[in-house]
């Protein structure tokens, strides 16, 4: 019986490949140079594959772990790397380590495609592209766009900030404009004459542009890292201001302008001057704009709210309220510094503490339950005064790239 090789048309092959998972496609890059170029380097194919996976709800999401050592200042507490009284190791250079963690807790180590790998941080992710850099107080030392799934990598030129006094903090965010299929990095800094400079980098145009806005849009945002949701980057103003109610400032990436998004008034109606409420935006994998509310000087728990209809103040709903003492059987709540990383599509909280990630299920009035935990492997040498610090965020496993 003779064998028969069917030579399929190119468009049919592309349609078939678009329906396969990223993991399989990466293996198929060894079939031929054409397949490798298509899968790894073709932005059009990467976009088509992402759109199909999004429509079919087959996108795989992984946790990106970014870890690096930090030196504890003399006289500081053992938890100093979490309360800000730590500094980066300066004399002996230690590289930043990147790892992925899937839903079965299997770990993959990445080789970052640049020699500039000291003190890098993950600064945001969108559609599988991760913004990586070294954001200092008032400037950047390095900026990159990276797809961990394919190795796609681009260095971003540094913006030119007019003010470099070291007296303000650089605020930033990263997201996607659906209408123009462009990815944008936004950096917000004060400018002379009580104005605000918004530096916007377009990946498709490969240039920075600068627009100005009234300084009143920037009283003092709680987090430097803005959260991307519904086409905009979001920051929260602090509570405790007797003249201004706390509000979310959203910068639309399409219109390139600020707008205000109201917060639930119940969060600060009984505000105490000595212990104000701290509100920060969160990543919710269901696509909602999400916030975490807790007291500044009370780390015992908090409330998580979601805006179920974007831009509609009446659509804020409280997803859950939790107290850290409910987790006494999971970890030492008195000694372990912790942070809330993100919320899954199923409304599961992912907490970071010491060298662990915890998946916490909160259902109605029932007690929170720990449904999963992962402890980071020891990846740094033991040295005196050396603490271990890591971040955890979510990224989509995609083939997305952006041509220069």
Beta strands in 127-170 (DSSP E): 129-135, 140-146, 153-155
Report which DSSP code applies to 32. Answer: -
What pLDDT is attached to residue 214?
Answer: 80
Band (87; pLDDT cuts 50, 70, 90): very low
Band (83; pLDDT cuts 50, 70, 90): very low
Mean pLDDT confidence for 375-388: 60
Q: Is residue 403 part of a domain?
A: no
Q: Which pLDDT tens digit goes with each residue over 17-41?
A: 999 999 999 999 998 999 999 999 9
Q: Is residue 378 part of a domain?
A: yes
Q: Is residue 1 part of a domain?
A: no
Measured CA to CA, the distance from residue 82 to residue 77 in angstroms comes to 10
Domain C-terminal end among 59, 75, 92: 59
Q: Are residues 19 and 144 in the same domain?
A: no
Q: Are residues 52 and 25 in the same domain?
A: yes
Q: Are residues 34 and 169 in the same domain?
A: no
Question: Does residue 113 register a pLDDT over 60?
Answer: yes
CATH code at position 232 = 2.120.10
What pLDDT is attached to residue 377?
Answer: 64
Listed range (6-10, 78-82, 225-229, 251-255) with the worst mean pLDDT: 78-82
What pLDDT is attached to residue 24?
Answer: 94
Q: Is residue 404 part of a domain?
A: no
Give me the domain span that covers residue 288: 60-396
Question: Does residue 91 register a pLDDT over 60?
Answer: no
* DSSP symbols for 49-112: HHHHHHHTT---EEEEEEEEEEEEPTT--TTHHHHT-EEE--SS--B-EEEEE-TT--EEE---
What pLDDT is attached to residue 115?
Answer: 77
C-beta of residue 238 within 8 angstroms of C-beta of residue 216: no
Q: Which pLDDT tens digit goes with each residue over 203-252?
A: 999 999 999 888 665 556 667 889 999 999 999 877 655 556 778 889 99
Q: Is residue 310 part of a domain?
A: yes
Q: Is residue 54 part of a domain?
A: yes
Q: Are residues 17 and 86 in the same domain?
A: no
Backbone dihedral region for residue 95 (phi beyond 0: left; psi -120 to 50: alpha; all else: beta): beta
Q: Which pLDDT tens digit goes with each residue over 142-156?
A: 899 999 999 999 999
Percent of residues, the chain, with pLDDT higher than 90 = 38
Which two three-digit tokens encode residue 35?
């397949």
Q: Which pLDDT tens digit goes with each residue over 340-373?
A: 899 988 888 898 887 788 898 877 667 778 888 8
Angle, helices 43-55 vs 33-41, to 10°: value is 70
Q: Are residues 146 and 254 in the same domain?
A: yes
Q: Are residues 16 and 158 in the same domain?
A: no
Pairing of strands 356-361, 369-375: antiparallel
Q: Which pLDDT tens digit goes with each residue over 267-322?
A: 766 655 566 778 888 888 888 999 988 877 666 778 899 999 999 999 999 988 88
Band (111; pLDDT cuts 50, 70, 90): confident
| 108 vs 329, more confident | 108
Question: Does residue 86 register a pLDDT over 70?
Answer: no
What pLDDT is attached to residue 335?
Answer: 63
Q: Are residues 277 and 350 in the same domain?
A: yes
What pLDDT is attached to residue 220?
Answer: 61
Measured CA to CA, the distance from residue 146 to residue 303 in angstroms comes to 33
Q: How many CB atoms lie within 10 A of CB 319?
A: 18
What is the total count of domains within the chain? 2
Residue 393, SS3?
A: strand
Q: Which pLDDT tens digit goes with each residue over 124-182?
A: 999 999 999 887 766 777 899 999 999 999 999 988 766 555 556 788 999 999 999 99
Q: Is residue 182 part of a domain?
A: yes
Question: Does residue 88 register a pLDDT over 70?
Answer: no
- Give the predicted TM-score (pTM) of the model: 0.86
Q: Which pLDDT tens digit goes with each residue over 58-75?
A: 999 999 998 876 665 554
Q: Are residues 31 and 137 in the same domain?
A: no
What pLDDT is attached to residue 179?
Answer: 94
What pLDDT is attached to residue 29?
Answer: 92
């Amino acid at each position: 019986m003779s064998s028969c090789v069917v030579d399929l048309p190119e468009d049919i092959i592309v349609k078939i490949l678009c329906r396969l998972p990223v993991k399989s496609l990466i293996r198929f890059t060894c079939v031929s140079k054409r397949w490798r170029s298509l899968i790894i380097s073709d932005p059009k194919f990467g976009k088509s594959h992402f759109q199909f996976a999004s429509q079919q709800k087959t996108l795989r999401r992984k946790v990106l772990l970014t870890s690096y050592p930090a030196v504890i200042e003399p006289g500081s507490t053992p938890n100093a790397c979490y309360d800000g009284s730590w500094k980066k190791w300066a004399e002996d250079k230690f590289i930043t380590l990147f790892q992925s963690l899937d839903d079965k807790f299997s770990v993959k180590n990445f080789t970052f495609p640049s020699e500039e790998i000291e003190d890098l941080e993950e600064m945001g992710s969108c559609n599988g592209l991760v913004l990586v850099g070294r954001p200092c107080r008032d400037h950047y030392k390095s900026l990159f766009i990276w797809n961990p799934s394919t190795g796609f990598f681009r260095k971003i030129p540094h913006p030119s900030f007019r003010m470099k006094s070291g007296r303000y903090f650089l605020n930033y965010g990263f997201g996607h404009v659906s209408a123009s299929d462009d990815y944008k990095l936004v950096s917000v800094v004060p400018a002379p004459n009580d104005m605000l400079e918004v530096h916007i980098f377009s990946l498709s145009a490969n240039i920075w542009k600068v627009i100005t806005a009234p300084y009143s849009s920037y009283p003092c945002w709680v987090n430097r890292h803005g959260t991307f949701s519904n086409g905009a980057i979001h920051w929260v103003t602090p509570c405790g201001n007797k003249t201004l109610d706390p509000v979310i400032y959203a910068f639309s990436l399409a219109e390139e302008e600020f707008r205000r998004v109201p917060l639930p008034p119940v969060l600060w109606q009984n505000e105490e001057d000595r212990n104000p409420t701290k509100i920060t935006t969160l990543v919710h994998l269901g696509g909602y704009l999400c916030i975490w509310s807790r007291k500044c000087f009370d780390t015992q728990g908090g409330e998580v709210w979601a805006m179920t209809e974007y831009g509609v103040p009446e659509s804020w709903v409280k997803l859950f309220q939790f107290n850290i003492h409910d987790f006494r059987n999971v970890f030492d709540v008195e000694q372990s510094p912790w942070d809330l990383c993100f919320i899954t599509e199923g409304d599961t909280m992912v907490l970071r503490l010491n060298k662990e990630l915890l998946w916490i299920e909160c259902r109605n009035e029932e007690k929170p339950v720990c449904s999963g935990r992962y402890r980071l492997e020891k990846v740094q040498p033991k040295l005196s005064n050396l603490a271990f610090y890591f971040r955890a965020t979510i990224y989509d496993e995609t083939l997305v790239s952006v041509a220069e």
